[in-house]
Structure 1
């Protein structure tokens, strides 16, 4: 029974080590996830700016010049027909440019939507990581307390075994001394009765 309690204590230590390893892995992966998401967000923003620049250049090619504010307003409206309102030309180049502008506009709208979704996901993940971090800290604290209790129990059990063996030894010494004393008293009584 004592050996089993020692084995259980060793299993608790292994569990504590596994928990710390998992916590470290969780922290590293969460940090890498944040880095990847930040890089992804920056890439999407860069793509949006490049696409916006292309659309502006294509509008200039067709003869329509726009300011950054007008371009942003057109992009925010989500309506590609805004691009076509002032551009009516029969030439093949103009139609091709117009189609490309509308295609770019759709790409930008999709990109903006995915950026919003990514931002929401990123915020949810940050909140989740924070919540899980507190929970893991509480679990680690409880495991450490349990480990301390197990160590204390091991020490107390060792002391109890030691005291028990000392008590047995003392009991046997007392029994032997008592038997010897009874034998001596019996011998003395036997000799004193035999002398008379």
Structure 2
């Protein structure tokens, strides 16, 4: 059964990888050609032809890749929801509304964190599968199969890193906006602009809320309690959000190290070319050895036949001459 493969694409626009095969009338399958590039996206042309090794099978690999891409899309959706929620928080001034928004944002961040860790684990599983695949005949380091699998996994890991970087920017944005709010509150009460150390202390201790409460009390008692509740909800929301996003940021840092390491491997063009050449030279050497062996076999076969004929002649000829 000969298999023919179609194009496999993994691009930043979220298009799914397609890997379709068709049946022929010969048994076995293997790669006959693979072309790839890894300049931020991954593009791989895979053609399948007949063979008998049966060692190269990417169906399960690309099935796992599709699952990870779905999780990455969900991560992107959660990031957009958090961005919208953060913008919404600037327009509401009711404690209950702030509390509901805080609960929703906490849930989204928690889900994003779980998905990030899950994707990280699944990528590590793909790395282990790739390592195991290198022990198969024709799939060693630098082979077309290994380069395909490595480049696709690296592309997914880079995409996760980009997603995590988006969450990190959101974390910095929320932190910066809250810091500006604290500075304004301090200036409103004291008439002085606080230095960075003072702002850091106010944020870490929560005393910034006390300053605004005093200002509100000067304006009248009617709205004080509701506003104080709203302020406290905002403070708690920011602290919880920062704590969750910090944990997410740690996953981002772990991924950045892995991406950088794999990037060095993939960008080492000379190493890749040298490995590919070594495979070509190895194949050429094997063909040469096979030809020499075949030639020697034929030569010794001919010699054996000649010797056999000579022996027959030596035995038969005297008998014939006597007659």
> What CA distance in whole angstroms lies between the structure 1 residues aligned with 2:279 and 2:229?
69
- Contact conserved, 1:80 with 1:102, CA < 8 A, in 2? no
**Structure number with higher relative contact order (C-alpha < 8 Å, ≥ 6 residues apart):** 1
Query: For the structure 1 residues 8 and 161, does the alpha-carbon distance in structure 2 shift closer, same or farther, using more than 3 Å as the test?
Result: farther
Structure 2: state its 5+ residue gaps: 1-50, 57-136
Query: For the structure 1 residues 80 and 151, does the alpha-carbon distance in structure 2 shift closer, same or farther, using more than 3 Å as the test?
Result: farther
Instruction: Tell me which residue corresponds to 2:160.
Output: 33
Q: CA deviation at 1:152?
A: 3.5
Q: CA deviation at 1:98?
A: 2.0
Secondary structure at the residue paired with 1:164? helix
Instruction: Tell me which residue corresponds to 1:103.
Output: 233
1:75 correspondence with 2:238: no
**Partner residue of 1:175 out of 303, 308, 317:** 308
- Contact conserved, 2:139 with 2:145, CA < 8 A, in 1? yes
Q: CA offsets per residue over residues 35-85 of structure 1, 9 Å max, x none? A: 11111111121123334445666x48xx63563544442112246764467
Q: CA offsets per residue over residues 168-189 of structure 1, 9 Å max, x none? A: 122102322443355556556x
- Contact conserved, 1:30 with 1:129, CA < 8 A, in 2? yes
1:92 correspondence with 2:222: yes
> What CA distance in whole angstroms lies between the structure 1 residues aligned with 2:53 and 2:230?
70
Structure 1: state its 5+ residue gaps: 1-5, 192-196
**Superposition pairs of residues 14-25 of structure 1, within 5 angstroms:** 16-25=143-152
Query: For the structure 1 residues 8 and 153, does the alpha-carbon distance in structure 2 shift closer, same or farther, using more than 3 Å as the test?
Result: farther
> What CA distance in whole angstroms lies between the structure 2 residues aligned with 1:128 and 1:88?
51
Q: CA deviation at 1:95?
A: 2.7
Secondary structure at the residue paired with 1:64? helix
> What CA distance in whole angstroms lies between the structure 1 residues aligned with 2:194 and 2:318?
120
Instruction: Give the superposed CA RMSD.
Output: 4.1
Higher mean C-alpha deviation, range 155-164 or range 166-175: 155-164
Structure having the higher Rg: 1
- Contact conserved, 2:182 with 2:203, CA < 8 A, in 1? no
Q: CA deviation at 1:167?
A: 0.7
- Contact conserved, 2:182 with 2:208, CA < 8 A, in 1? no
> What CA distance in whole angstroms lies between the structure 2 residues aligned with 1:101 and 1:84?
9
TM-score with structure 1 setting the length: 0.64
**Partner residue of 2:138 out of 7, 10, 13:** 13
Query: For the structure 1 residues 75 and 8, does the alpha-carbon distance in structure 2 shift closer, same or farther, using more than 3 Å as the test?
Result: same
Instruction: Tell me which residue corresponds to 1:64.
Output: 189
1:164 correspondence with 2:270: no
> What CA distance in whole angstroms lies between the structure 2 residues aligned with 1:167 and 1:173?
10
- Contact conserved, 1:78 with 1:109, CA < 8 A, in 2? no
Q: CA offsets per residue over residues 123-147 of structure 1, 9 Å max, x none? A: 223344556779999xx9xx97788
> What CA distance in whole angstroms lies between the structure 2 residues aligned with 1:20 and 1:147?
15
Instruction: Tell me which residue corresponds to 2:21.
Output: none
